[in-house]
Amino acid sequence: MKWITRERPKIDRIACPWLIKRFIDQEAEIIYVPFDQVKTKAHELNATPFDIPDVEYTHYGDECTFDYFIRKHDLKDAALQTLAVIVRGADTDRHDIASQASGLWAISAGLSHNITSDQELLRQGLVIYDALYTWAKHLQHEKHTQNPIENLLLDVYHRFIQQKSSSRKIPSWAKELKEIIQDQIDTNLSLNLKELSQSLNVHPAYLSREFSKYFDDLSFGEYIRKLRIEKAMQLLEDPKYSLAEIAYLTGFSDQSHFNRIFKKHTGKNPSEYRKSFSKK
């Protein structure tokens, strides 16, 4: 069977072919073409399109295409469920939902930068997902430092560093970053750490690692979502905006996604919040 998607794959468009080849169709042919040619070529080649809008195999709500493949083909492997969360976190920039997500994104981005051939990217990517699956299947409880004394020393060290960092002054980059986010959150809902790190002249890996220390113990993604929800709460006070308009203005992909995230943060869905506010 032939499967087709857009060129220059990174996360979903490598992870899904791996899933297809390992669990659905070992002889599957994976085709990469420019975005605007996917549906046309799919018809010409009798191939199934995936990971583009308005096709069956795509993102739904908070989930990515990899999640849909697992659900559609009723794959019950527990290791795949673990892998799905990592892929979802890496593919949707929600690195807070799995500690491995940021690493998967970093490796995938580096591969895409170094390799120009999409088929070679796929070949190398299959090796990476084989290794990640093996870890999820057999090695999740393995640690790099196996010695109990060594683990104890590391624990003491990390506690010392945490206590030391909590008492130090807020660095200038954190103050400047907070100002940048506050200035841009109303007009630039696609804020990302890479662009911000360039503005601050701070390495993105360092910025990602240190962010939570100075921003309410939240990851970058969590902090931005918190600000977007706060903005939505303000807009809900104004009856001239519909819920769909507020979802759009606060950068959510659709109203159902907005409803879920809003309720997760506030305990109420947007319409309930609006009603409770109007009664005051």
Q: What is the number of structural domains in the chain?
A: 2
Among 116, 139, 162, the domain boundary falls at 139
The string of DSSP letters for 174-229 reads HHHHHHHHHHHTTT-TT--HHHHHHHHT--HHHHHHHHHHHTTT--HHHHHHHHHH
Higher-pLDDT residue of 231, 189 = 231
Structure tokens belonging to residue 93: 């920039």
Residue 233 and residue 112 share a domain: no
Structural domain contains residue 173: no
Nearest 10 degrees: CA dihedral of 120, 122, 124, 130? -160
Rounded Cα distance between 13 and 55, Å, is: 14
Q: Which residues contact 133 (CB under 8 A, 6 or more apart)?
A: 22, 79, 80, 83
Among 139, 173, 194, the domain boundary falls at 139
Q: What is the reported pLDDT for 73?
A: 97
Q: What is the reported pLDDT for 129?
A: 97
pLDDT-based confidence at residue 104 (cuts at 50, 70, 90): very high
What's the order of all strands across the beta sheet hosting 2-6?
29-33, 2-6, 48-49
Q: What is the reported pLDDT for 96?
A: 87
- Whole-model pTM: value is 0.56
Structure tokens belonging to residue 173: 């980059």
Taken as a whole, the chain contains a residue count of: 280
Structural domain contains residue 126: yes
Rounded Cα distance between 64 and 85, Å, is: 10
CATH number of the domain enclosing 262: 1.10.10.60
Give the domain range for residue 274: 222-278
What element of type H or E holds 49? strand 48-49
Over residues 183-216, the pLDDT tens digits come to: 555 555 556 677 777 777 777 777 778 888 888 8
Beta pairing, strands 29-33 & 48-49: unpaired
Q: Is it the case that residue 75 has pLDDT exceeding 60?
A: yes
Structural domain contains residue 178: no
Q: What is the reported pLDDT for 146?
A: 56
Q: What is the reported pLDDT for 209?
A: 81
The region of weakest confidence among 144-148, 180-184, 256-260, 264-268 is 144-148
CB of 10 closer than 8 Å to CB of 109: yes
Residue 226 and residue 108 share a domain: no
Structural domain contains residue 91: yes
Structural domain contains residue 96: yes
Residue 227 and residue 121 share a domain: no
